[in-house]
Amino acid sequence: MTAAAPTALRNAGGASGGQGSSPARGSMRKARTKGWLEPWLYLAPAFIVLIALLGYPIFQLINVSLYDYRQAQVSGKAPLRFTGLENYQKLFADPQFWTVLGNTVLFAAACVILTLLAGSTLAVLATRLRPWVRSTLFVVSLGAWATPAVTGSAVWLFLFDPTLGLVNKSLVSLGLTQFAGYSWTYDKWSAFGLVASEVVWCSFPFVLVTVYAGIQAIPTEVIEAARIDGATMPRIARSIMLPMLRPIVIVVTIQSIIWNFKIFSQIYIMTSGGGIAGQNLVLNVYGYQQAFAASLYGLGSALGVIMTALLMVITLVYLRILKRTGEPL
């Protein structure tokens, strides 16, 4: 009896311990489940709004791209004909599509690079200006940013008008007589350059304000310590400021890529719908021409799907880069 008593007590204790630990494990499991669900509950309203505003239109865009959908189908004079991926095959087999895609990539890349250079240079310059000069710079820059794309395009067209434009008159007055009556929108590259200059003009203020805010957020003690150690300003900019500004530069770069990749108003207005013989077409304008000018709604929808997919890839790259740099998503 004395030998069996400790064994019985141990068995009883083990049983009671197991019964006591089961509610604890259940509570921990519930806490983990609640911790996992809680962020999604907070995000649920935003997801519902996004699905309502974006989900159905994207579904319809994909759906229309799978049909031979023209004016006859819109008016009900002809039945819809399911074509599957035929619209995509037509696009990929069309040399003009690849030319337009190349134009879009090159144009967006040039606009992004020039916007970043202009905005970053002015942001660094703003840190060395007097307060009233800096305030004037920001007010003027934000005025350009607030100007609607249609208004800005019309103003730039007037400035570069062949006969009445201030730019041509100024160049002729400087002795450059070859610019008398010169049309900036006739040649492919001069037209792209004109549109790019307008895009940069209305886009650089975002980079200016963002990069300037990042520079101001750098602790002055770090820069002063580097100066005491004998570091030159170029070395400070390269080894201290640029690494600390890298997350901000990544954000403005990706956002500029997205904005410039889907440019429509400036190209359409300043080149009269894509330039002579379509030499200044980009994907957005090309899709507009196919969908509304030619009434090939299925083909235009396929272009819209391709553009959406490309922008989603850019967005995923953006999120991946943010994750690598440790920025909160």
Q: What is the DSSP string of 254-317?
A: HHHHHHHHT--HHHHHHTTTTSGGGTT--HHHHHHIIIIIS--HHHHHHHHHHHHHHHHHHHHH
- CA atoms of 193 and 201, how far apart (whole Å): 12
Check residues 11 and 193 and name the one with the higher pLDDT: 193
Which conformational region is residue 79 in: left (phi greater than 0), alpha (psi within -120 to 50 degrees), or beta?
beta
Q: Which CATH number fits domain 99-295: 3.10.20.740, 3.10.20.90, 1.10.3720.10, 3.10.129.10?
A: 1.10.3720.10
Closest C-alpha to 305, from 283, 320, 273? 283
215 pLDDT band (50/70/90 cuts)? confident
Domain ranges of the chain: 99-295
Q: With pLDDT > 90 as the criterion, what percentage of the chain qualifies? A: 26
* Phi and psi angles of residue 230, each rounded to the nearest 5 degrees, phi first: 95, 10
Whether the per-residue pLDDT at 3 is higher than 50: the answer is no
What is the dihedral angle through the alpha carbons of 148, 152, 153, 155, rounded to the nearest 10 degrees?
140
- CA atoms of 87 and 61, how far apart (whole Å): 13
Q: What is the three-class DSSP state of 160?
A: coil
- The neighbour count for residue 245, using CB atoms within 10 Å, is 20
Distance of CA 230 to the CA centre of its chain: 40
Q: CB under 8 Å to 299, separation ≥6 — which residues?
A: 87, 90, 91, 290, 291
- CA atoms of 297 and 74, how far apart (whole Å): 9
* Phi and psi angles of residue 69, each rounded to the nearest 5 degrees, phi first: -115, 110
- CA atoms of 209 and 216, how far apart (whole Å): 11
Query: How many alpha carbons fall within 13 Å on the CB side of residue 112?
Result: 20
9 pLDDT band (50/70/90 cuts)? very low
What is the dihedral angle through the alpha carbons of 44, 45, 50, 56, rounded to the nearest 10 degrees?
90
For tokens 């070395």, the residue is 235
Q: pLDDT, tens digit, for every residue of 124-173?
A: 888 888 889 888 999 998 888 888 889 999 999 999 998 888 999 999 99
Q: pLDDT, tens digit, for every residue of 227-279?
A: 888 777 777 777 788 888 888 888 888 888 888 888 898 999 999 888 888 88
Closest C-alpha to 285, from 302, 310, 265? 265
Strands (E), 129-285: none
Element (H, E) at 101: helix 95-126
Q: What is the structure's pLDDT at 221? A: 82
35 pLDDT band (50/70/90 cuts)? low
Q: What is the structure's pLDDT at 8? A: 46
